[in-house]
Structure 1
């Protein structure tokens, strides 16, 4: 499990967010400035993200091979881009959309940078 320090570190962050999403799913609806009618939908989305990210973060952190970690990072990047599309399209206004895109695309960029750096070191 040696090497890929940055990818494994970012995967630990992903795992932390996953646990937070499962424990406090209402955070997503608040970030999206949803109303009471929409909140249950965002709670379900947050829980789905939590389950997805437990798997991906766990694989990225504990993956037994460099390839497993790289696959996890690729899945995380694709997930972030999909989140940008899904949540960005649901944003009620440009302010929320900008926030959503900053977080999702920022995290995709962080994961990409870690993956590229670790590949160069490997």
Structure 2
């Protein structure tokens, strides 16, 4: 039975981001260079990312191999959704950064899942 080692490792890394997002929600509006009027909403979004990422990461770290596969698929879908939504509301260098982070993390998770499924 596969151990899903890479997927579990990336799930643990995602959990660390979730904890960071809850502890310091101001990181998101800071990274997006948001205006003062948007800060509260983006901090709330960061907190929701924190809760979401901790929940899905728990399944990815502690679940059975089939649960880990499902958690990774959900994680990848969330990264694609984050890319679509955040890149639609940003431009220039910020949009490129948003796309690099979300698509990069999604791709890294996809590679881990593919490697683990073959193992």
Same fold (TM over 0.5): yes
Moved over 2 A (4+): none
Aligned partner of 2:50 in structure 1 is 50
TM-score by length of 2: 0.97
SS at match of 1:25: coil
Give me the whole-angstrom Cα distance separating, in 2, the residues matched to 1:103 and 1:97: 10
TM-score in terms of structure 1 length? 0.94
Cα displacement (A) at 1:2? 6.9
The answer to whether the Cα contact below 8 Å between 2:2 and 2:117 also exists between their aligned partners in 1 is no
| Unaligned segments of structure 2, at least 5 residues | none
Uncovered stretches (5+) of structure 1, i.e. residues with no partner: none
Report the equivalent of 1:105. 103
Q: Which residue in the other structure is 2:16 paired with?
A: 16
- Alignment RMSD (CA, Å): 1.2
Deviations 1:52-103 (A, max 9, x none): 101111110111x111000110010000000001111111x21100000000
Report how many aligned residue pairs link the two structures: 119
